[in-house]
A and B are shown apart, each in its own frame.
Chain A
Amino acid sequence: MILLISGQKSARAFDGLLLFATQLDRRGHSVTIDARCMPDEVTKQQKFEAAPFLVDHQEVSPDIVLVVGADAISDEVQVFLRALQLDADVPIWTLGYFADRQDEITAQNKIAYTIGREPKLLNLAGPQRPALLEGCSAPLTFQIAETPDQQAGDPARLIVYVPFEDLEEPGVLQDLARIGYSAKIKLHVLTNGKGKELIRQSRYGVLSVFGYSELPPADIMNYADIVAFFGGGIAGERMMALALGAMGAGKVVIDCTGPAVLTTDGAPALKGPEHVHSLSAYLEDVVLDNRLEIGRRIQKSDWLRQFDLKKIEQDLRVTQPEARPAETSRTVYFPTNGNGLGHAQRCALIGEAMSMDSNLSFAAFPSCIDMLQSRGFACTPMVSRSVEHDDPYAADLVNHLRLRDLLSQSDQLVFDGGYVFDSVYRVISALQIPAIWIRRGLWQAGQIHPTALERERVFSRVIVPQEAFDELNTDYSTGGSVHHVGPIVRLNASSDADPAELRARLSAHFGKPIETLVVTMLGGGVASDRTAQTQLLCSLLEQRKDCLHLVIAWPNAVIADGLHGWNNTQVVRTSHTQDLCRAADLTVSAVGYNSFHEILYANVPSILIPQSAPYLDDQERRARAAADRGLATLVLESELLTLEREVSAFLDDGKADDIRAALAQTALPDPGNLAAATLIEEGLGA
């Protein structure tokens, strides 16, 4: 195991360490970073990048220690080194860009004093050290691929780095958008946070934009065949790492910077136009038809060899670990943690429709694990968000580590959810595995914006489960990777769930005759408080003779104490809701995707009370579509008197039978369970 320590405890030194650690990790090395080197102020992106590597120095036994940026080693870091408890045969290396022999000796001496023995030394500044590395602390290094890592055919994937200041220039955004319109090019703009915000606020907000610290350069590079740099220079070590890494991977790097910093230094980049306006023609005339050959020639550059990770491995006398044997391909489902079980239920339904020999498992939040395991799926537990965490993304940070450990490059990931977590976004970007996004629709108006959809770019396929009614289906994105399937719905309720039999069993279980059965499932109480509606139902049904009112409690549901005081009401936790609904005279339900479609497809007469929260889907529209067709009754949360009337209408005036009959006569779209499963299986084979 390699332990990295930075020469200084600073944001910049730490960032350099992360770049180096990532490169070593991608090469297969077991690499760690001494957590004491992490500065007090760290960005969210840095935390995600650092988390896989950070270790407590007292808990590791490294095989080699690299002090990176030792040319400016601080007293604080010397204290860190002093506290290392290492075996005498563990080599410690002094790495840095040393200007002369005295600088080497100074760094070597400092480390020798602190550790009490002689460190080895590697001067990263070779005899022809490029000026563009001035100020760098960590080794900017990468693997040189044997063949160009480019996707053949159209469109060519292009990343254009443009600093914020240049984006503000008149016409630049328009020029970028024009490039993006080309069928031959798939454009991503790369800029800083301000630049990204500028684009999002402009009329070109749909452009695909990467923030330059959003992902490690090695991962950003995976989205490009061609990388062009504009501006006054290469901004910082991250962008330099991107430029060098892209060259090493045999991608076409175009130096459009004003001072031509790459080409002037001898880098095998193309000298491109200084203005974005001319880029399109330059690509057309010079690059697009020749990009693979250009990539091949770039890879042969002697200049590039000085950055070859293999060279540093030789210098440090470490060998590249042998590649792990290929593992059996797996499909891993990761349903997001909504307020109910909806995402996990949907994934389970699709998983059950996959062929028997599919090797699939789940990464699931605790609320879903019982349900999934009861259906035979293996689960890796994920961590739910908590107000107890210091960072709102702390749970996702842990989940990122778990996904990283769980997945390998032979797997595919199926994510079901609205917001693509950083953990998901990053692990797909890093592993470049097939990834599928199950993204049901009916978003609320405020949820539809480019930022919410920009992470679609990491998925190889998007599966959009349709709503039962056409007016509820909206395309948020289009293209060959977006696939629509029928509603994902549970059709085969338990085989022994004949409604009459079930009522008889319920009667025996609760020790009372059941003339009337009502099921209420109004959600967990997290998104919308439904205490008033539930209590009203309890009160109304309490007055009925031989009535059983079952209130379904979701995992993590908030259950009001008052519910336990009613004679006719029972609170139950069960995954057999569909069986109960089919046996019931009336179901009063929230209008989540799964509940709604189960009710429709199982011909269940229902009163629908939509939940409403900014992060939920538009349940009211969904309920209204059914109500307008006479297939359910919509009652809004404030309409308590209406609820009372409708309960009576269903139970006393035959409305339940009318709706059951109307449902029976309604042609609903074919369920999409199998189609979704097939798309996922195809994805793994692709």
Chain B
Amino acid sequence: MLQSEAAGKRPQIAYVLDPRFPGGTSSAVAAELEVVRDFADIRVFALSTAMFEDQGVAPQLDEALNRLKLPIVWDATEIAADIVVLHNPSCLKHQDDLGVRLIARHLIVVTHENFLRPGGAEGFDVAKCLTQIQRDSLVLERHLAPVSAWNRSTVTGWIASHQLSQTWTVLPIDWFNICEFDLVPPTVCPADRRGRHSRSGFEKFPSSKVMELCFSPSADRNVILGADAFLLDDDRPSHWTLYPFRGLTVSQYFEMIDFMIYFTAPTWRESFGRVIAEATAAGKLVITDPDVARTFDGTVVAAEPENVDKIVQGYIDEPDRYVSDVRSAQRQLKKFSPATFRSNIGEMLTKLAGGSA
């Protein structure tokens, strides 16, 4: 039981987000609402941002909100609560005004998208987005909440090189994505069946050379789900089995592979990497680059692309090690469980709502 619960006081938390955001972010927010609802009174406010015009509410979020009987209030002109949690500020990048007045003790902006890309280039016009929020918020404190260690480094890196009002602070603990997947036991006789899945954006894929190293002709199978760009390329390798984004269900895809090899463009990095946790939960051994592996320390194999063949072969030769490592990784996923979120983030929220600020 949290301190505030013991005191009989439930924090008033307003969630502000554009619920049309596709993919893992909406899944994470849906899971988060379930957890936070246990100890706080929640209202959900939707922004109709220019970024997601003509799109519908993300299905996973829609389903969660219906289940939790949380109505969406669209485009309110004023939102007041103990705490306002604004998810994903990058959704404001194509507009100039937030369009709503935020009044709270604390405003927490969860930075799902990296502020900087590897190398230091801006991931989006951060100042434009934060300025809109700052201008339209009447709060005691504004906080930025990174979602992972890497995401945190991009936030602090951006702050170090840009002028940001001193009214912003960076929360000390990661506002991680809740990963609550059913755990599937690993196969006891892994084969060289490799795969990767992601959205189809170019940022999700490394260079052709790296792709060839990760999905080599020696593999029994190379399944790439979300390979829309490669399907446009006449020179794509013939030993790859390509599917466009949503060309297979994720479960169908996982049935086809034993190893998830996940590298991205060197100029982009996952802010969290929910896809990796998903693969681990599905009983697959994940091999990825060392920087992405930092978020999932202990659950994935960090490697350079040149070593992928050797690592895969090593696990095929030692199936017991494969099973052991996957099971170990699955145990590690509790770091991203609802319980952990409730313990870490929930405690912090309750403190903030209690007027400690």
Contact = CB atoms under 8 A, between A and B. Distances in A.
The reply to whether chain A is a binding partner of chain B is yes
Contact of B125 (A102, A113, A114): A102
B78 interface: no
B241 interface: no
Contacts of B93: 102
Given A79-B233, A114-B202, A109 B117 contact: yes
Contacts of A78: 202, 229
B207 A105 contact: no
B202 A82 contact: yes
A431 B203 CA distance: 46
Contacts, number: 64
B243 interface: no
A106 to B, nearest CB: 8
A108 B125 contact: no
A208 B154 CA distance: 64
A75 B229 contact: yes
Nearest to A121: B121
Contacts of A168: none
A116 B305 CA distance: 15
Interface in B306-330: none
Contacts of A101: 125, 128
A112 B265 contact: yes
Interface residues of B, number: 25
A337 to B, nearest CB: 38
A100 interface: yes
Nearest to B94: A102
B291 to A, nearest CB: 15
A75 B229 CA distance: 7
A417 to B, nearest CB: 42
Nearest to B268: A113
A562 to B, nearest CB: 53
Given A82-B208, A102-B124, A102-B128, A113 B265 contact: yes
A82 B228 CA distance: 14
B203 A118 contact: no
Contacts of B203: 109, 113
B63 to A, nearest CB: 30
A109 B268 CA distance: 9
Chain A contact residues, majority secondary structure: helix
A109 B124 CA distance: 9
Contacts of A100: 125, 128
A102 B128 CA distance: 8
Contacts of A114: 202, 265
Contacts of B121: 105, 108-109, 112, 118
Q: How big is chain A's contact interface, by range?
A: 20 to 34
B119 interface: yes
A670 interface: no
Nearest to A110: B202
Contact of A83 (B117, B119, B208): B208
B122 interface: yes
A105 B122 contact: yes
B123 interface: yes
Nearest to B228: A75
Interface in B87-139: 93-94, 117, 119, 121-125, 128
A117 interface: yes
Contacts of A284: none
Nearest to B229: A79
Interface string B172-202: 0000000000000000000000000000011
Nearest to B266: A116
Interface string B200-237: 01110011100000000000000000001100110100
Nearest to A78: B202
B212 to A, nearest CB: 13
A108 to B, nearest CB: 7
Interface string A36-65: 000000000000000000000000000000
Interface in A103-138: 105-106, 108-110, 112-114, 116-118
B94 A112 contact: no
A78 B235 CA distance: 14
A515 interface: no
A116 B119 CA distance: 11
Given A82-B229, A105-B124, A116 B235 contact: no
Interface string A63-106: 00000000000011011001100000000000000001110011
22 contacts: A75-B202, A75-B228, A78-B202, A82-B207, A82-B208, A83-B208, A83-B235, A100-B125, A100-B128, A102-B93, A102-B124, A105-B125, A108-B121, A109-B121, A109-B267, A109-B268, A112-B265, A112-B268, A113-B202, A113-B203, A113-B268, A116-B265
Interface of A: 75-76, 78-79, 82-83, 100-102, 105-106, 108-110, 112-114, 116-118
Given A112-B268, A116-B266, A116-B267, 4 more contacts: A109-B268, A113-B201, A117-B266, A118-B267
